[in-house]
């Protein structure tokens, strides 16, 4: 091969090197694409006039994609649940309900991560929120620091897989597949991962109870009516929101985009309920540390209804601002990735990848293992969105040609592959040195928590994620059975 034919290889290598620079990913993707487009012009492999098609690809593709309109609404929903205190109250409730189970507080964190994952997929918000709420209390209850940090980090990453997931929305767009089918296919794999976490915590804490001392009996409501009131206030509302969002998708009543709109509205109503109506009615909070009365006996809201409404309005403005910033970052990366993939394909990158795969003679299983191994290794250094926008455009043509015989029907291969990739990408949040969930946790953890403890704490959970990946690979029905039943 001459220099011109190897331009896609150099382009991919330049991207891999520059991603370590710490410069914004959107600018790196776009900059590398632009630079190699210019190199392609001088080498005769690319024409300047081809850049004219980029605006139509961006504004006629990304900006007009109805699938991607779900992203800002899901971001809004997750941020609203965090800022309105819904998530905090949910964790308070779950730790009381699970107090008799070994590792009850760790299980409450896991269950909370599962519930939050089924309402939104904002990993950073989930990890930070649970770190702030649960980690100090777990340490105060003499929980093992490694178990506590590992549980929080792993549970917070479930939102990247369990629908509605922003990652699945992006994958569906890149692979030109139904996001509804991907959402349904991800339900059981996500729940299996959550179940693996549950089993690990219960077994380990049963063998060694000193890792997770039980919750004192004097914390939380002491009467049946108190417990019932706590469940009605803190557990039922998020479950209703899940039923509205995920249930409408599974039942075929709404598209994921429509369900995202319902979820955003539901989050606003829950925020009103938690920040305005309950304080106005004099309903007390369920305190995590047990320092205050957690019963439902009322007291007058301080400052009256006007103050509570102002608090809600300030919260809403903060949520909108954070949503806009997060959304701008994601779509900036989309624009850069569009430029990168367009130039990569124009320089013959697709043909180069397919020819390389055929030359290696790996076969479908060999290529699958190669991609999964590559993604796992990339997860040590890059975020999931970077890996997704790099790997899928490069390997999408080869993925469409995979054939696994009777193991997976050819029409289902892309959906199965997407779920395998999604499970694999969960490890990118937990694997050092650049596991973002670990950074989020360390940023808000008490100073007594060392990064070495966090690294040791996540090792069992990374292994459990790989077990989940193996299960979905060996038994594809885990991902494909439910879509078959619902969508044939």
Q: If you average pLDDT over residues 219-226, what whole number do you get? A: 74
Per-residue pLDDT, 64: 66
Q: If you average pLDDT over residues 421-437, what whole number do you get? A: 81
Per-residue pLDDT, 125: 63
Kindly report which listed range (212-226, 297-311, 376-390, 436-450) carries the lowest average pLDDT score: 297-311
Query: In this structure, what token pair is assigned to residue 167?
Result: 């990652």
Instruction: Report whether pLDDT(389) > 70.
Output: yes
* Under 8 Å between Cβ of 406 and 399: no
CB atoms within 10 A of CB 213: 16
Label residue 381 by pLDDT band (50, 70, 90). Answer: low
Per-residue pLDDT, 11: 86
* Under 8 Å between Cβ of 480 and 185: yes
Label residue 68 by pLDDT band (50, 70, 90). Answer: low
d(CA 262, CA 244): 7
Query: In this structure, what token pair is assigned to residue 207?
Result: 């063998």
pLDDT digits (tens, 9 = 90+) for 396-407: 777 777 788 888
Instruction: Report whether pLDDT(219) > 80.
Output: no
Label residue 61 by pLDDT band (50, 70, 90). Answer: low
Label residue 467 by pLDDT band (50, 70, 90). Answer: very high
> Which CB contacts under 8 angstroms, 24+ apart, belong to 276-284?
276/305, 276/308, 276/309, 276/311, 276/312, 278/233, 279/308, 280/304, 280/305, 280/308, 283/233
Place of tokens 């819904």: 86
Instruction: Report whether pLDDT(128) > 80.
Output: no
d(CA 462, CA 426): 9
d(CA 89, CA 455): 29
CB atoms within 10 A of CB 441: 26
Label residue 122 by pLDDT band (50, 70, 90). Answer: low
Instruction: Report whether pLDDT(298) > 70.
Output: no
Name the CA dihedral angle for 466, 472, 473, 477, rounded to a multiple of 10 degrees: 170
* Under 8 Å between Cβ of 250 and 242: no
* Under 8 Å between Cβ of 280 and 305: yes
Cβ-Cβ contacts under 8 Å for 215 (sequence gap 6 or more): 95, 96, 99, 104, 105, 141
Distance of CA 57 to the CA centre of its chain: 27
d(CA 349, CA 454): 39
Per-residue pLDDT, 416: 92
Place of tokens 């980029």: 54
For 233-256, give the DSSP string.
IIIHHHHHHHHHHHHHHHTTSS-H
Place of tokens 């941020």: 79
Write down the mean pLDDT value for the chain: 80
Compute and round to an integer the Cα radius of gyration of the chain. Answer: 24
Q: If you average pLDDT over residues 288-317, what whole number do you get? A: 60
* Under 8 Å between Cβ of 150 and 431: no
Name the CA dihedral angle for 184, 188, 190, 196, rounded to a multiple of 10 degrees: 180
Of all residues in the chain, the percent with pLDDT exceeding 70 is 85
* Under 8 Å between Cβ of 32 and 40: no
Kindly report which listed range (66-70, 156-160, 211-215, 472-476) carries the lowest average pLDDT score: 66-70
Per-residue pLDDT, 354: 64
**Around 355, how many Cα atoms within 13 Å sit in the side-chain half-sphere?**
10
Q: If you average pLDDT over residues 212-233, what whole number do you get? A: 77
Cβ-Cβ contacts under 8 Å for 193 (sequence gap 6 or more): 158, 161, 423, 426, 464, 465, 468
Per-residue pLDDT, 288: 46
CB atoms within 10 A of CB 100: 9
Label residue 301 by pLDDT band (50, 70, 90). Answer: very low
d(CA 399, CA 367): 9
Closest CA to 426 of 80, 194, 88, 176: 194
Per-residue pLDDT, 343: 86
Q: If you average pLDDT over residues 105-134, what whole number do you get? A: 75
Closest CA to 435 of 379, 360, 354: 379
What is the model's pTM? 0.72
Label residue 290 by pLDDT band (50, 70, 90). Answer: very low
């Amino acid at each position: 091969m001459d220099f011109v034919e190897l331009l896609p290889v150099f382009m991919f290598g330049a991207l891999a090197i520059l991603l370590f620079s710490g410069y914004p990913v959107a600018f790196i993707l776009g900059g590398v694409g632009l630079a190699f487009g210019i190199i392609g012009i001088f080498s005769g492999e690319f024409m300047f006039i081809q850049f004219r098609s980029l605006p139509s690809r961006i504004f006629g593709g990304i900006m007009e994609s109805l699938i991607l309109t779900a992203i800002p609404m899901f971001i809004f929903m997750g941020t609203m649940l965090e800022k309105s205190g819904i998530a905090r109250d949910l964790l308070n409730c779950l730790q009381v309900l699970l107090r008799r189970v070994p590792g009850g507080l760790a299980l409450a964190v896991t269950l909370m991560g599962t519930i939050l994952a089924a309402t939104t997929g904002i990993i950073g918000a989930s990890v930070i929120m649970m770190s702030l709420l649960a980690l100090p209390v777990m340490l105060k209850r003499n929980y093992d620091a490694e178990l506590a940090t590992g549980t929080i980090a792993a549970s917070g990453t479930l939102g990247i897989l369990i629908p509605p997931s922003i990652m699945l929305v992006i994958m569906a767009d890149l692979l030109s597949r139904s996001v509804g089918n991907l959402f349904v296919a991800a339900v059981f794999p996500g729940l299996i991962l959550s179940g693996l976490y549950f089993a690990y915590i219960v077994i380990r804490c049963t063998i060694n109870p000193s890792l997770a001392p039980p919750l004192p009996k004097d914390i939380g409501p002491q009467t049946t009516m108190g417990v019932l009131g706590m469940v009605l206030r803190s557990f039922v509302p998020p479950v209703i929101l899940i039923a509205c969002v995920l249930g409408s998708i599974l039942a075929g009543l709404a598209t994921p985009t429509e369900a995202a709109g319902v979820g955003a509205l539901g989050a606003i109503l829950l925020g009103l309920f938690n920040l305005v109506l309950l304080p106005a009615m004099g309903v007390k909070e369920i305190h995590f540390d047990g320092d205050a009365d957690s019963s439902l006996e009322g007291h007058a809201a301080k400052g009256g209804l006007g103050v509570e409404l102002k608090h809600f309005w300030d919260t809403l403005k903060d949520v909108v601002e954070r949503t806009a910033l997060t959304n701008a970052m994601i779509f900036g990366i989309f624009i850069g990735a569009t430029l990168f993939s367009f130039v990569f394909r124009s320089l013959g990158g697709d043909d180069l990848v397919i020819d390389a795969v055929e030359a290696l003679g790996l076969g479908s299983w060999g290529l699958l293992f190669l991609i999964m191994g590559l993604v796992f290794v990339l997860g040590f250094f890059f975020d999931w969105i970077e890996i997704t926008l790099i790997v899928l455009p490069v390997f999408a043509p080869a993925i469409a040609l995979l054939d696994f015989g009777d193991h997976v029907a050819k029409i289902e291969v892309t959906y199965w592959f997407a779920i395998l990739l999604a499970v694999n990408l969960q490890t990118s949040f937990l694997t050092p040195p650049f596991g973002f969930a670990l950074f989020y946790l360390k940023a808000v953890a008490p100073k007594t928590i060392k990064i070495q403890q966090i690294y040791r704490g996540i090792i069992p959970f990374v292994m459990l994620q790989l077990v989940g990946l193996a299960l979905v690979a060996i038994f594809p029905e885990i991902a494909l059975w439910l879509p078959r039943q619902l969508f044939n």
